[in-house]
Amino acid sequence: MEPLLEAGEMRELDRWAINEKKVAVDELMERAGEGLAGVVARRAPAGRIAIVCGKGNNGGDGIVAARLLRQAGREVEVHAVWPPEWMGEDAQAQIKKLPGPKPIPFEAGRLNKVHVIVDALLGTGSSGVPREPAAGVIKEMEAARAPVIAADIPSGVDATTGEVAGPAVHCVATVAFHRPKLGVWIRPGKGYAGDVEVVEIGIPRGGPARPDAGLIGAGVLRDMPRRASDSTKFSSGNVFIIGGSRGLTGAPSMSALAAMRAGAGYVTVGAPASLELSFTVRLLEAMMIGLPEDGSGHLDPSSEEQLLKAISRANAVVLGPGLSKDPGAQALVRAVVPRIDVPLVIDADGLNALVGHVEEILPQRRWPTVLTPHSGELARLLDTTSEEVERSRLRHAREAAAITKAFVVHKGDDTLVAAPDGRVAISRGRAPGLATAGTGDVLAGVIGAMLAKGMPVAQAACAGVYAHVRAGQIAAAPHGPDGVIASDVISALPAALSA
């Protein structure tokens, strides 16, 4: 994974580089400003530039960029939100080197006359609701017609969590110094960052920071077990899908198909017996086991022992797709979850069945568990609202993982894979074709296949997320994302896994 830093970790690295490795502050600032200027010049090769500077080192980086851009012949205005004498010594030293006009006090309306804006206002040390005068300046940048490029982090976005507590700046690009910060990859902050471009600023390798977060990369598939000449359908992974109810047979079918396309050699669906025909016509290559039901097409608690016997040969189980919110089916979930002695993926109505019971049921499990909630499902598990979850996605994903002792795959464009110990892996996303019904069932099936192949739970979850996103991108490539359906994503899985 590509490491992502929290604001405190970045400060620690800065101190280490300056105090122990004797890297001069002005050298770090020079390289940051140089990288920032390069991105601005490339993205806005002509026109007037406004650089909005705060009083911290972020403002000093903006001053350096202004100097270099002026030396390259560009017309640059430097707007000081606070008096320049309020800046630190290093930033003030950069002002003395600035050719042409010195920084001018920020005035409302001035940004409407420029072609590009550089946000060097608050930096990574800021959190919470911005106070005046910064709040007013942020609103001015947000209202201006010109595109904005951020220095390290868009002002108003929490660099550690991606939370946005008040006004914030939507940027076309964010220039990350040394390493990207967590907040530019987690929504809502991700929606403000635009393209993230990383520039090296001279911090040596090593250092005290040991990030607990990172971006999932293609390398996560490198160690995925592949079929060989001596493989059998059972050694390739045996996945059992539990779900389905009257009117909801599509979800478990898609999970089963996705598991097969992700390489599982043997897949079985356990569903209400009366629905056998629905599965038989859809799933030519999968087995179907009819289980006792309540007479209305829902699984019944009386099927507990028969179900546990049916999954005895499985390497992994996916529980929940299409299960319904029927009280009997949900009681069955609560009864079997502690007794399933293989890795388990719980999705959809399997999650809803655990609402109010997660702390008493999930920590009992001896085998790995992966939960795959969207924000609404995660909110119900944590007894909060989906709006609150969306405001603080990282905090809630980590909280759920800690409470349940499970890996939580919090779905979204920035899908988070949170481990019980606080580590988190983040998807780069950018697969809008996945915003359609059924793709969550596909993801559950893919992760189930990865677990059935014997992959460690963290790697299986991350590999499933990566393959799912890549398949969504491949499915959208011919005609765009709007026409993509979940079946297209399933069909694209082999290509995604081979890539």
Which residue ranges are tagged as binding site for K(+)?
A: 58, 119, 155
Token pair of 73, please?
């012949």
Residue 284 one-letter amino acid: L
Binding residues: 57-61, 119, 123-129, 152, 155, 251, 322, 374, 411-415, 440-441
Going by C-beta distance under 8 Å and a sequence separation of 6 or more, which residues neighbour residue 180? 2, 4, 5, 196, 198, 215
d(CA 451, CA 342): 9
Torsion on CA atoms 209, 214, 218, 224, rounded to nearest 10: 90
Binding residues for (6S)-NADPHX: 57-61, 123-129, 152, 251, 322, 374, 441
d(CA 354, CA 432): 29
- The backbone torsions φ and ψ at residue 103, rounded to the nearest 5 degrees and listed phi first, read -60, 140
d(CA 280, CA 300): 21
d(CA 469, CA 220): 13
Q: Is the peptide bond before 432 cis (omega within 30 degrees of 0)?
A: no
Q: Which residue, among 458, 453, 441, has the nearest Cα to 497 in the 3D structure?
A: 453
With vertex at residue 251, the alpha carbon angle to CA 245 and CA 253, rounded to the nearest 5 degrees, is: 95
Going by C-beta distance under 8 Å and a sequence separation of 6 or more, which residues neighbour residue 109? 140
Token pair of 37, please?
């200027």
Which residues sit opposite 284 in a β-bridge? Answer: none
Token pair of 33, please?
């400003």
Residue 379 one-letter amino acid: A
N-term to C-term CA, the chain: 17
Binding residues for AMP: 411-415, 440
Which residues sit opposite 119 in a β-bridge? Answer: 52, 150
DSSP per-residue string spanning 293-304: B-SSSSB-GGGH
